[in-house]
Every structure is written in C-alpha cells, then in structure tokens.
Structure 1
Amino acid sequence: MTSLPSSPSLFPVHWAGELLQLLPERALWWPEARVLFVADLHLGKAATYRALGQPVPGGTTLENLSRLDALIERHVPQRLVFLGDFLHAAQARTVLATVEGWRARHGGIAMTLVRGNHDSHAGDPPDTLDIEVVDEPFLLGPFACCHHPQSHATHFVLAGHLHPACRLYGRGHDSMRLPCFVSDAQQAVLPAFGEFTGGLVMAQAPGRRFYAVGGESVWAVPTLD
C-alpha cells in the first residue's frame, strides 16, 4: 500500500451548509456523513491506449487503486461515490480482475457510481464489484452528485468530467498548470482522480473560486470578484 504523508494540507470549504475538505489526493471528503467523493478514475485508460498500439506506460490502475487504499485507510469512509468515468472504455475491462481484488479488500464500504459518458461506452461494472450504479443526478443529503456540471433546482451539484486545471503565473513568462477544484454559486467540479487523464484550464469568472492542488497541499487561488 502506498504510504501518504501523515498530515497532508487539506483545504476546508463550506458548501450547501456542510463542511467539506478538499484533499491533495484530488478527492473530496465530507466528514459529517463519512462520504468520500472521487471523479474520473478512468481505470484502464493506459491499457486502452496500449491496445491501440500507443507506447504509454503501465501501472496506472494499480497506482490509482493504491491511492484510494491510502485515502480509505486515513478517513475510514462509510460510502465512496464515484462521480462518473469509472472505467475508460470497453477495452479497459481487462483490468477488472485487479479491481475485483481491490473491492474485496473494502467490502464494508458502500460504493456508488454515477454514470458518466465513458461509462456508457465501457458498460456498468460487473455485479461482482458490488457497486451501485445510478444515473445523474444522485441526491445525497444537500448534494446532487453528477458527472456533467449542471444546475439543480434544490441541491448543490458535485460534478467531474472537465478535469479542471488552473494556470499560475510567475515572473516573466513562467507559468505552471495544476489540477484544481472549481466552485461556483451552486456547483463544484472536482479534479480528475485518475492518472494519465490530462486537464482543461478553466476560465476565470466573477464569483468562481479555484483551489489548486500541488504536491501535498490544496490552496485558494486569487480570482475575479
């Protein structure tokens, strides 16, 4: 199991009247309900590209699951919610034996997958994984759990899909792109949890907040008001 720092620098936020924690592992923790939210694992993405003849590195599935293991050990969630794109494609089902072994180690945790666009191509996880599969929005407390960013009439939306990133600028022409959490008035988008997923630099907008992820820290980025 991957060993993570004993005290990583999380960032607390209050959304929908609830205290949540933005984790540097690119996940969201809801302490009161003991729910861990993760977006865009894209398990098997590298394997899919290798099947197409692309020379991409292996081991990303094990790395993703090892990071989840460490988060589960630290926070002891009662429920794990995947905000879409659990598997990358139909070809990615070759990694399912590995995923089944991982799931067996966490049989006491309820798991829910909110279907994303890649899930529609890859198909639902097999019943042996014991993962509840639902369409968006999946209502959980004050939150509407979705894959695609959207508005909801009564609930605060938690979504993925965009793999959000922000660009930080230094002196001269120096800049750095980092994954980030992005929040608007009634919606937040999580960064992609999976390795080898890329990212979309999000535009600034009035009232939009960015929380950059780098190393073992999450921090608020100055934005427009």
Structure 2
Amino acid sequence: MRIIINNQNFVLHPCGAAFWEEKKILLISDLHLGKIAHFRKYGMAIPERAIPENFNRLNNILELFDAETIIFLGDLFHSKINNEWNLFSDWTRTITQQLILVEGNHDIISKKYYTDLNIEIRSEIIIDDFLLTHHPTEKENLFNFCGHIHPGIKLKGLGKQFLSLSCFFKKPNQLIFPAFGEFTGNFHLIPEENDKVYALIKDEVIEIKN
C-alpha cells in the first residue's frame, strides 16, 4: 500500500517494513534479532529453524525495492550477544546498503559490535520534516516515525470470534511501525477519530476503517 505523508511517498509492505521512495530509504523497526536464541536458551520450545526466517524476510524485502539506506528504528538486537549475532554479521556482508540504527531500549550491547560492521548509531534522526525515533516522540512541526509499541489491532467477528493483526498505526503526526521480527507479539491499540490503521494480512496491507 502506498501512502502520502508531507508530500512524500511511502510503500507499506506486509512484512512490516516501509520504503520511502524519494529518499530510497527502507525503514524497519523492532527486528529483535537474538530473541529466538535467547528464548531457546531458557527452555522455550521454539524451533531452531525459525531463526533464519528474519534474514529471509530481510532479503525478500531488499529484492523488491532499490533501497540505498536501511534505517532500523530501534531494538535491532534483543539482548546480549548470542549466535544470532554471527548470522547478522554475515548478512551485513552480503548487502551494499548503508545501515543506520536508531537506538532502542533493547539495544544494550556494546556499540563496538555495530561500528565493526560499519553500522551508524543515532539516538534520533531528522530528515526534512520527519523525525525518526524508537519511542513515540512528539516534536513541533515534525512527523514522527517510530516503533517500540509493536502495534496491533483486534477485530471482532461473528460468534465472539476475534482476529489479532499487526499493523502500522497512524496518528495525525506519527506513524508507529509494527515489529518486523518473529515472535515479538502485539500491543493492541484502539484508534481514535483521526487515526488510521493499516493492517498486515498475509501478502497485503489493508486499511481498517474505524
């Protein structure tokens, strides 16, 4: 789905990433690499084959868009270093895009690991009249792209049926990104009058009307 914000074009992809066409920037939030290995270490029965899925999704999205830069909107790596870092390190050597990380609350490992991979680290980024952060942030005259919340929407069907979907959650001056990573969960938000919800459904993004 293509949406226009401040006269700029953004393509929302069902994997949870967005492509900024004019700037050739791919925006991704809350990848949480290392989370699956972390859970497995403490006995959670998550199949090991789930680990490569995040990298498969990254590769698939890069094949679709001619991105020159990838900006991660925080929580790139879930916690302490584990074997998924080696997979991420290997992946960075297969791509040509510039990598930038806007620090999130889970990005606790030493910055040296990122700088060794030529990944630039920022607390926030301002591009034209857009503010890129991890936590939702309001600044006058700036439209905020952010993550952190892992937004989801709960839809009620017939017979007390409920469907929970990840979504892009747009407020008048803010777009909250869904979590890109596997096994991240959702926090259900309730849209207000001027909010828009773009839900991720298999191979498409659809707007959910209030």
Q: 1:85, 1:115 within 8 Å by CA — same for their partners in 2?
A: yes
Q: 1:100, 1:128 within 8 Å by CA — same for their partners in 2?
A: no
2:25 paired with 1:35: yes
What is the correspondence of 1:76-115 to structure 2 with a 5 Å cutoff?
76-90=66-80, 92-106=81-95, 108-115=96-103
Q: List per-residue Cα deviations over 1:4-52 (Å, max 9, x = no partner).
A: xxxxxxx111112211111111111111111100000000101111222
Task: Select which of 172, 192, 207 maps to 1:185.
Answer: 172
Q: 2:31, 2:181 within 8 Å by CA — same for their partners in 1?
A: yes
Consecutive unaligned residues of structure 2, counting only runs of 5 or more, are: none
- Give the whole-Å Cα distance in 1 for the aligned partners of 2:110 and 2:39: 18
2:190 paired with 1:203: yes
Q: 2:16, 2:179 within 8 Å by CA — same for their partners in 1?
A: yes
- Give the whole-Å Cα distance in 1 for the aligned partners of 2:79 and 2:150: 17
Matched AA of 1:200: F
Question: Relative to structure 2, which stretch is displaced further, 61-70 or 181-190?
Answer: 61-70
The corresponding residue for 2:118 is 130
- Give the whole-Å Cα distance in 1 for the aligned partners of 2:151 and 2:175: 10
Question: Relative to structure 2, which stretch is displaced further, 122-131 or 94-103?
Answer: 122-131
- Give the whole-Å Cα distance in 2 for the aligned partners of 1:151 and 1:60: 36
What's the RMSD between the two structures over aligned residues?
1.3
What is the correspondence of 1:149-160 to structure 2 with a 5 Å cutoff?
149-160=136-147
Q: 1:44, 1:88 within 8 Å by CA — same for their partners in 2?
A: yes
Task: Select which of 158, 162, 181 maps to 2:149.
Answer: 162
The number of equivalent residue pairs is 209
Matched AA of 2:122: V
Question: Relative to structure 2, which stretch is displaced further, 177-186 or 123-132?
Answer: 123-132
The corresponding residue for 1:148 is 135
Task: Give identity over the alignment, percent.
Answer: 30
Consecutive unaligned residues of structure 1, counting only runs of 5 or more, are: 1-10
Q: List per-residue Cα deviations over 1:44-103 (Å, max 9, x = no partner).
A: 10111122232222233411111111111110200000000000001x432221111110
Matched position secondary structure for 2:19: strand
The corresponding residue for 2:7 is 17
What is the correspondence of 1:37-52 to structure 2 with a 5 Å cutoff?
37-52=27-42
The corresponding residue for 2:206 is 219
Q: 2:129, 2:143 within 8 Å by CA — same for their partners in 1?
A: yes
